Amino acid sequence: MKTIRNKLVFCFAFCSIVSIHIFAQEHPMLMVTKAGVQKIRQELGKVPLFDASIKNVKIEVDQAIAAGIDVPVPKDYSGGYTHETHKRNFLIMQKAGLLYQILQDQSYAVYVRDLLFAYEKLYKTLPLHPQTRSYARGKLFWQCLNDSNWLVYTSQAYDCIYDWLSYKERKLLEKNLFRPFADFISVENPQFFNRVHNHSTWGNAAVGMIGLVMQDDELVKRALYGIENANLAKGVKDNDGGFISNENQKAGFIANIDEPFSPEGYYTEGPYYQRYAMYPFLAFAQALQNAKPELRIFKYKNEVLLNSVSVLLNLTDANGEFFPLNDGQKGMSYHSRELHTAVDLAYYYGDKNPSLLSIAKKQGRVLLNDAGLAVAMAVRDGKTIPFVKKTIHLTDGAKGNQGGISVIRYGEDEALTSVFKYAAQGLSHGHYDKLSFSLYNAQGDEVLQDYGLARFVNIEQKGGGNYLKENKTWAKQTIAHNTLVQDEVSHFNGKYEIGSKHHSELYFLDTEKASFQLVSAKETNAYPKTTLQRTQVMIKLEALKDPVLLDLLRVSSDTVHQYDLPFYYLGQLIATNFTTKCSSTLVTLSKKHGYQHLWLEGSGLANSTLSQFTFLNHQKYYTISTATTADDQVLLTRIGANDPKFNLRRDAGYMLRRNAKNTLFATVVEPHGGYSYVSEFSTGAKSSLHNIDILWNSESYTLVKLILTNGQEYVLCLANNQNKPTAEHTLQVGEQLFSWKGTYKFLTIK
Amino acid sequence: MKTIRNKLVFCFAFCSIVSIHIFAQEHPMLMVTKAGVQKIRQELGKVPLFDASIKNVKIEVDQAIAAGIDVPVPKDYSGGYTHETHKRNFLIMQKAGLLYQILQDQSYAVYVRDLLFAYEKLYKTLPLHPQTRSYARGKLFWQCLNDSNWLVYTSQAYDCIYDWLSYKERKLLEKNLFRPFADFISVENPQFFNRVHNHSTWGNAAVGMIGLVMQDDELVKRALYGIENANLAKGVKDNDGGFISNENQKAGFIANIDEPFSPEGYYTEGPYYQRYAMYPFLAFAQALQNAKPELRIFKYKNEVLLNSVSVLLNLTDANGEFFPLNDGQKGMSYHSRELHTAVDLAYYYGDKNPSLLSIAKKQGRVLLNDAGLAVAMAVRDGKTIPFVKKTIHLTDGAKGNQGGISVIRYGEDEALTSVFKYAAQGLSHGHYDKLSFSLYNAQGDEVLQDYGLARFVNIEQKGGGNYLKENKTWAKQTIAHNTLVQDEVSHFNGKYEIGSKHHSELYFLDTEKASFQLVSAKETNAYPKTTLQRTQVMIKLEALKDPVLLDLLRVSSDTVHQYDLPFYYLGQLIATNFTTKCSSTLVTLSKKHGYQHLWLEGSGLANSTLSQFTFLNHQKYYTISTATTADDQVLLTRIGANDPKFNLRRDAGYMLRRNAKNTLFATVVEPHGGYSYVSEFSTGAKSSLHNIDILWNSESYTLVKLILTNGQEYVLCLANNQNKPTAEHTLQVGEQLFSWKGTYKFLTIK
């Protein structure tokens, strides 16, 4: 017999559908094992973090049991009563199942059984959900996605009481509820199930997990490899604007690991959706590991599932909140339930990385299973070491050849973090934000923000908790990001079909030395015949207390364009060295591509040499200094125009505007000094930068001189088209000769 | 010999100038005593909080000593280099003096001496400060106020090394520095020294404290009772718009206790300035207690100085930040240095209130003196009990007959707090905000904000760190507050001369029961021939999880006016039950009285029965529901128009507008449900209020019915002109007869 394992070794690039065999298994097997339960019972009362976790779960479940069973007829969108009730039901059921296993208190099994039969009774009567917005309407919920959430959790509850139920009860549930449910979200909705998308990952896991419990071969196979010959039409889109069919027509759980994950474990949709998909990825993987260890699922694609947990933790600010790359709701963090699961499983099935324990400690709770017990015991035994976030570079694309993301950090305390994006489109949740960046401080505060999404997830009054139209008209548009807009048109003309075909390219990076970290990337497709190159350099100069970010945005084209470069600062404007005029009425910047959402609060001519803009963000000053001429314009903007329902935040922007063919926006973002609201001391409130002198800017080279107010001077020499370490470069600038070997050199002049 | 003590007993209402005698004293005597130092030395290493405090102070002072002495020629406004350097110098000098006493390490004495002689050398050369904005320019600083800060702290440093200096050194310092300094801020600037104002309090304390150290009778007398026959012209104003001369021409430290403090200890300028004045009040009082215990200064006016500390602590939100009544910079809190001093001294010289210890613990440091040691020992000995903030009512005015403030709190966790103001003008820092209120939650977040001031204290780039003109054009204006504006004109026409003559009046209060707390106040002078009555009721209904605030604003006039009632909510608008139109250009609401700073973001007709406005503040929903008719308008505003220097925050407002003679704005502010950004659960996102039915509204009675969505009904019956507890009232409304005894009754109908 060919084992699946051998197959997997040979099908890294493309997994063909193989025949698999299910063996009789003991229950439980999904989230927890029989052996695991025995071990847990032995350790009860001896492992503080585990005991505390049980206690909290018990309180929650006991309250739910006391409140009684409520299985309403489906009616609402997310945030509405029926939606939230069914959601709560599956979360509680899963926990009740575990409590039954661990505490061996039958009342939990009774509760799960009664709920399951309430669903059994309801489900067989259900037509499609009455809300029609989804491309794949569910039955319990408005979309198959949420139905799949239900089944991922409920299959675990069923697994936990499987042996406790009678044969007849099991058959009834499987016949009337689970099998039809699994078929509905798969074969009856191939446009949902057979994609490479976080939606399908949930669908795959749901079908696979219930298949394992039911020991149903066919379902497990369908989960792993998709529906055969689904033949989805090409070019059809879902209600979020994403393509239903991927080019290779691959589908199923394995395809969903292959495609959206880069080799390091970056998920192309971005961290918010990676977090969301993490639960079905890991829950199903764990179940497969328990039920079918020969699959070696955690080893698949160089352990990408386990590695992706560490990637996800690295894609957080100092508070543990995910960077809102692409569509992402701010505030989501590693305190979410998905990350509890992810961290515990990554520890247990990975190499027992003790730094994960520090995250588990911050989370304050563990899974009620084998993995959670292992984590809690290791924490108890003092094995924790800090999880220190460093500069990381992640490639995008299944093969890691579609650009990527750099998170450039200075300081062990994450004193300054730039999140620099030169990735692919990111499927339907992607934004048109090539070469954009955002900036964070040591407290996890945003300094220069990425807007995130225009949605209030699960808040029913706000468009049913779904994506609002401002997500498309504002949040995805280029002007909503800290990157360059040409002629007031978004990258790829804001068209998903075009954007999906392209990605930026990493040009060069060197971040070995903490005091000088350079990343440079290029984008040649966002605008026809225009090349963008952005180079971000995190520099810690001896003379300055804080690191600075040197940001070089080079544009070249063969015709003159209007280039807009916005910085969405957060905080209070303190001072500028240019003058802006404010009018007594506010008008919008323009009519489309997001500009229709910006009020023009002030505008004027830039400073003739260096435009400086100082703001106070929480208790720290920041100055954005850009080399400008008197032909440049400065614009002060406010988000919120043409937003009658107040779906957008009224946040501020500072924008540079320049008409040119080839040009360089040379900017330094400089944290400095501080202000205390309690002592009312203001220190270092002024920039230490005297000037930014662009010595040279061409297709081949960019040379920029920084001059501090104390007289010190530094020059960065950068080769723009030659990144071989051995290449030698010589350039005469005025009377001065610059020569260097390798892509760049950073010189201290005086 | 008549002692000062007997004098004080007889001069409660008006203190005549008495002859006082200074006796030879041992040094130190101001912040710390010789006996205190001995005790401290005995306890070193045994009292954790004290030891930690010394350690921190030592690090700070050692760093300053290592940095060397810097006494620059005065040049800058606040926030500028010379200003901040001189400020840091006096703060460090004071600490160095204490370290010398406690650690008996001469290097600290040397540092203080060297700094003092650097000042001695500089001071005698100084003309008036070059910046001319102040009505009382200083020499080291731009205003005498900051010169006085310097002397209050520096006199303590001098006191600590007094015995260590030679006779000759002392005479030199006193002749060239201290005596001329004290004369300059007093007899040479009577317009500064002889007022009832926080400025003068600092001046009085400065002169008094250096007088005590120098054993200079004349200076101490001047400090306590002011300059004799200063004869300040009436009607002259300072650069903040305050009157220089008070009516009674009383002056000096005692007058500054008599006048601005109400009997309970509320300071008429508001908590931000009370905090600021607290340091000189208590530091000088402590010095007097040490040097002249027969004065019994802490017993004066029924212990008002000590009581005012507790008042101040009660005027904070759940984070310990002061309510920004009148001019107040947000973020100032009981973590300020002034409050460290205040809490320790109030504990030590008061009745050793153990709840003060919990504040000291949160502050994390104590004074390096007798009081600080006592606090730290008590903390060590486990005497701490929580400081629980309850509903409090404070009168305003020296005699407590000029209205006041109510802080209405529900819950031990300060779940909901309304700060209701019906006070006097508050001297030159007062705002035109009669019957305004602001609302806070259990986390200390503002829900409905008071704007605070328009100033960035000590941030030089923002107008030298001083009051900005928007403080007058916006922050002080009525429309900047959550209160009623008639015909778009501020209370008292925004005129200080008129506002200073009047105050609101408390009409009735009953806050005995936590679940039903009612405060009602009236204002009859803000607008000629118009009477305002506002009644705030904090109600905890059984049916609702959260308390609600019922807010009844009754207006009566004999002609029709436009009444505007704004609510400056903080957070994200979620839903309204009325429709507003937004235009594609923004215009301001009007041209003056603050309206010129408001953009009109949306407007429309109110709901014909109940207008509901729901917003999300952090993780909690709030709905503002107001009984309206279709003739009312709703306006959505944004602060920030006509603000070319971006001095104002772009905060939102929701405003009701009604044309009427006599009317009632009946509003319920209702916290409900919640949202988690991590679980993405949205619960209770909709209001539980079905309607507010105004059953009756007349000069005599107001009857309002609240109807919940669950069908429950409640009626509040309020007598508007009869607050005798024995009075009986009967009123026929339609078919229903209401009768009650006393000012109000709250009925559960069904």
List, as ranges, residues 420-479 from A with C-beta within 8 Å of B: 456-462, 465
* Structure confidence at residue A603 (pLDDT): 97
Distance CA A462, CA A456 (A): 6
How far CA A52 is from CA of A106, A365, B678, in Å, comes to: 21, 7, 20
Residue A248 confidence (pLDDT) = 66
- If you count residue pairs, one on A and one on B, with CB atoms under 8 Å apart, how many are there? 139
CB contact under 8 A, A686 and B640: no
Query: Which residues of chain A are within 8 Å of residue B572 when distances are taken between CB atoms?
Result: 456, 646, 649
The active-site residue, picked from A273, A410, A507, A675, is A273
Taking residues A606-631, what's their average pLDDT?
97
Does A429 qualify as catalytic in the annotation? yes
- For residue A80, the enclosing domain spans 2-380
Indicate the average pLDDT of chain B: 94
CB atoms within 10 A of CB A24: 5
CB contact under 8 A, B459 and A588: no
Q: pLDDT tens digits for A343-373? A: 999 999 999 999 999 999 999 999 999 999 9
Please report which confidence band the pLDDT of residue A336 belongs to, taking 50, 70 and 90 as the band edges.
Answer: very high
Domain annotation covers residue A386: no
A104: in domain = yes
Residue from A27, A83, A429, A561 carrying the catalytic annotation:
A429
Looking up tokens 């089944």 gives: A151
* pLDDT attached to residue A725: 93
Confidence of residue A246 (pLDDT cuts 50, 70, 90): low
Are residues A694 and A731 located together in one domain of the fold? Answer: yes
Q: Taking CB atoms and an 8 Å cutoff, what residues of chain A touch B458?
A: 675, 680-682
Q: Which residues contact B141 (CB under 8 A, 6 or more apart)?
A: B74, B78, B83, B86, B129, B147, B149, B150
Phi and psi, residue B420, nearest 5°: -110, 125
Rounded to an integer, what distance in angstroms lies between the CA atom of residue A662 and that of residue A652?
A: 28
Q: Are residues B292 and B423 in the same domain?
A: no
The answer to whether position A352 is within a domain reads yes
**Which pLDDT belongs to residue B79?**
82
Q: How far is A282 from A267, CA to CA, in rounded Å?
A: 14
Q: Does B641 touch chain A (CB under 8 A)?
A: yes
- Collect all residues of chain A within an 8 Å Cβ-Cβ radius of residue B642: 582, 584
pLDDT in tens, B508-539: 999 999 999 999 999 999 999 999 999 999 99
Distance from CA of A415 to the nearest CA of B (A): 23
**pLDDT 10s digits, A523-543:** 999 999 999 999 999 999 999
Name the minimum distance, in Å, from the CA of A342 to any CA of chain B.
15
- Cβ A459–B581 below 8 Å, yes or no? no
Non-local (6+) Cβ contacts of B490 within 8 A are B432, B476, B477, B478, B479, B593, B594
Nearest residue to A651 via CA among A447, A391, A411: A447
| Per-residue pLDDT, A14 | 36
Measured distance CA(B40)–CA(A421) in Å, rounded: 59
For chain A, the C-alpha Rg in angstroms (whole number) is: 27
Contact list, B681 vs chain A (CB under 8 Å): 84, 87-88, 458
C-alpha to C-alpha distance for B104 and B96, rounded to whole angstroms = 11
Report the pLDDT value the prediction gives residue B2, as an integer from 0 to 100: 39
Q: Which of B331, B614, B636 sits opposite A677 (nearest CB)?
A: B331
Q: Which residues pair with A654 in a beta bridge?
A: A567, A636
CATH number of the domain at A580, please. Answer: 2.70.98.70
Neighbours of A495 (CB within 10 A): 12
Q: Residue A650: its chain B contacts at CB < 8 A?
A: 638, 650, 652
Mean pLDDT across B453-475: 96
Residue B194 lies in a domain: yes
A588 touches chain B (CB under 8 A): yes
* Cβ-defined contact of A614 to B461 (cutoff 8 Å): yes
B573 and A646 within 8 Å at the Cβ level: the answer is yes
| Smallest CA–CA distance from A597 into chain B, residue | B584
Which residue, of B380, B404, B425, is where some domain finishes? B380
Check whether residue B487 and residue B624 sit in a common domain: yes
Q: Which two tokens stand for residue A387?
A: 């999880």
Mutate to test the interface with B, among A153, A365, A461 (most CBs of B within 10 A): A461
* Set of chain B residues whose Cβ sits within 8 Å of the Cβ of A583: none
pLDDT in tens, A392-424: 999 999 999 999 999 999 988 889 999 999 999
Mean pLDDT of B227-234: 80
Nearest to A206 by CA among A272, A280, A108, A310: A280
Tokens of A507: 């040009």
Side chain identity at B282, as an amino acid letter?
A: L
Which residues of B are less than 8 Å from A678 in CB distance? 331-333, 335-336
Is the Cβ pair A681, B456 closer than 8 Å?
A: no
Do residue B358 and residue B408 come from a single domain?
no
Backbone φ and ψ of B745, nearest 5° = -150, 140
- State whether A436 and A327 are in the same domain: no
B12 has a pLDDT exceeding 80: no
Q: What's the first-to-final CA gap in chain A, in angstroms?
A: 73
Question: Is the residue at B31 inside a domain?
Answer: yes
A436 and A344 together in one domain: no
**Same domain? B637 vs B601:** yes
Percent of chain B with pLDDT over 70: 96
If asked whether residues A646 and A522 sit together in one domain, one would say yes
pLDDT in tens, A456-492: 999 999 999 999 999 999 999 999 999 999 999 999 9
Q: Which residue of A has its CA nearest to B583?
A: A642
A244 pLDDT tier (thresholds 50, 70, 90): confident
- Tell me, what amino acid is at B696? W
Flag if B616 and A336 touch (Cβ within 8 Å): no
Is any Cβ of chain B less than 8 angstroms from the Cβ of A44?
no
pTM listed for this prediction: 0.93
Residues from chain A that touch B149, judged by Cβ atoms under 8 A, are none
Q: Is the pLDDT of residue A25 over 90?
A: no
Q: How far apart are CA B43 and CA A19, in angstroms?
A: 80
Whether residue A84 and residue B580 make contact (CB cut-off 8 A), yes or no, is: no
Considering the domain boundaries, does residue B184 fall inside one? Answer: yes
Give the orientation angle of helix B337-349 with respect to helix B370-380, to 10 degrees: 80
Tell me: pLDDT of A9 over 70: no
For position B232, what pLDDT does the model report? 76
The answer to the question of residue A434 being in a domain is yes
Of A357, A380, A403, the last residue of a domain is: A380
Residue of B465, B644, B677 lying closest to A332 (CB–CB): B677
Same domain, B464 and B356: no
Over range A301-321, report the average pLDDT.
96
Q: Is the pLDDT of residue B543 over 90?
A: yes
Residue B385 placed within a domain = no
Query: Residue range A236-258: average pLDDT?
Result: 81
Nearest CA in chain B to A330: B677
pLDDT digits (tens, 9 = 90+) for B90-102: 999 999 999 999 9
Across the interface, of A586, A602, A644, the residue whose CB is closest to B586 is A586
A585 near B CB under 8 A: yes
B123, B158, B225, B273: the catalytic one is B273
> Same domain, yes or no, for B283 and B335?
yes
**Residues B42-85: pLDDT tens digits?**
999 999 999 999 999 999 999 999 999 999 999 999 888 999 99
CB spacing of A332 vs B680 below 8 angstroms:
yes
pLDDT at B247: 61
Handedness of CA A185, A187, A191, A197 (dihedral sign): positive
- Rounded Cα distance between A602 and A587, Å, is 10
Write down which residue in B320, B351, B380 finishes a domain.
Answer: B380
> Which of A336, A585, A644 lies nearest to residue B586, judging by beta carbons?
A585
Mean pLDDT, rounded, for A562-582:
97
Give which of A86, A586, A649 to mutate to test B binding, by max B Cβ within 10 Å.
Answer: A586
Residues 66 through 95 of chain B touching chain A, CB cutoff 8 Å:
79, 84, 87-88
Distance from CA of A740 to the nearest CA of B (A): 40
Q: Is B680 on the interface with A (CB under 8 A)?
A: yes
pLDDT band at residue B357 using 50, 70 and 90 as cut-offs = very high
A273 is catalytic: yes
Instruction: Check B683 against A84: CB less than 8 A apart.
Output: yes
Both A396 and A375 in a single domain? no
The CATH number given to whatever domain includes residue A283 is 1.50.10.100
3-class DSSP state for residue A470?
helix
Mean pLDDT lowest for which of A242-246, A622-626, B452-456? Answer: A242-246
- Is the pLDDT at A20 greater than 60, yes or no? no
Tell me how far apart the alpha carbons of residues A199 and A182 are, in angstroms, rounded to a whole number.
14
Answer yes or no: is pLDDT of B14 > 90: no
Is this complex scored with an ipTM above 0.90? Answer: yes
The answer for residues whose C-beta is within 8 angstroms of residue A35's C-beta and 6 or more apart is A370
Chain A residues closer than 8 Å to B616 by CB: 456, 459
pLDDT score for A413: 85
Distance CA A331, CA A315 (A): 13
Residue A722 pLDDT grade (very low, low, confident, very high; cuts 50, 70, 90): very high
Residues of A numbered 484-503 whose beta carbons fall under 8 angstroms of chain B's beta carbons: which are they? none
Q: Is residue A18 scored above 60 in pLDDT? A: no
Dihedral Cα A39, A41, A43, A49, nearest 10 deg:
110
The answer to whether the Cβ–Cβ distance between A680 and B458 falls below 8 Å is: yes
Q: Do A586 and B582 touch (CB under 8 A)?
A: no
Picking from B273, B646, B647, B683 by the largest number of A CB atoms within 10 A of its own CB, the best residue to mutate is B646
Cβ contact, residue pair B79, A682, below 8 Å = yes
Inter-CA distances, A626 with A540, A603, A634, B13, B24, Å: 19, 16, 11, 64, 65
8 Å CB contact of A456 and B686: no
B287 with B373, same domain: the answer is yes
- Output the pLDDT for position A233: 74
Instruction: Tell me whether residues A333 and B588 touch, CB distance under 8 A.
Output: no
Residues of B in contact with A458 (CB under 8 A): 680-682
pLDDT band with cut points at 50, 70 and 90 for residue A234: confident
Answer whether residue B243 shows pLDDT above 90: no
Is the pLDDT at B671 greater than 70? The verdict is yes
Return the DSSP state at B25. Answer: -
Q: Any idea what the Cα angle at residue B91 is, between residues B85 and B94, rounded to 5°?
A: 135
Number of folded domains that form chain B: 2
Cβ-nearest to B460 among A84, A599, A682? A682
